[in-house]
């Protein structure tokens, strides 16, 4: 197996390989979007594609995106990420907008969660 490229990829891999049910917060990163906008950069496209692979490989995983102010850049970026993942075949029940405990900012912070595996 090849080690993931970035720290974020490694964090996702560690979370995925854990046997504990866990909810963890990740920052998608401001470099994933064009400055001041919601379009994905080339780095962001790659990161979103890797996130899609993670979600596809772990059907019990859920991506919880913060429900922010409708007119905020963070909300626009979260919607862009959700649309991208939907276009990659990620089911709507795996990408959920809700009130989650993340600090509002222009960056997309999200939670990954999953059910505790059956014994």
pTM of the model: 0.76
Q: Does domain 21-114 have CATH number 3.20.20.60?
A: no
What sign does the dihedral 89-16-118-94 (CA atoms) show? negative
Contact indicator for 97, 65 with CB cutoff of 8 Å = yes
Q: Which parts of the chain sit beneath pLDDT 50?
A: 1-3, 116-119
Residue-level pLDDT at 34: 94
> In angstroms, how far apart are the furthest CA atoms of the chain?
47
Q: What are the residue ranges spanned by the domains of the chain?
A: 21-114
Q: What's CA 84's distance to the chain center, in Å?
A: 11
Q: Could you read off the pLDDT of 86-107 as tens digits, one per residue?
A: 999 998 888 888 765 555 555 5
């Amino acid at each position: 197996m090849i080690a993931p490229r970035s720290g974020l990829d490694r964090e996702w891999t560690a979370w995925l390989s854990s046997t504990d049910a866990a909810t963890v917060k990740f920052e998608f990163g401001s470099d994933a979007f064009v400055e001041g906008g919601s379009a994905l950069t080339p780095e962001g496209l790659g990161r979103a594609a890797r996130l899609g692979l993670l979600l596809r490989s772990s059907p019990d995983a859920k991506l919880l995106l913060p429900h922010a102010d409708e007119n905020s850049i963070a909300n626009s970026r979260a919607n862009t990420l959700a649309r991208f993942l939907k276009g990659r075949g990620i089911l709507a029940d795996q990408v959920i907008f809700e009130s989650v405990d993340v600090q509002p900012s222009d960056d997309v912070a999200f939670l990954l969660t999953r059910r505790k595996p059956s014994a």
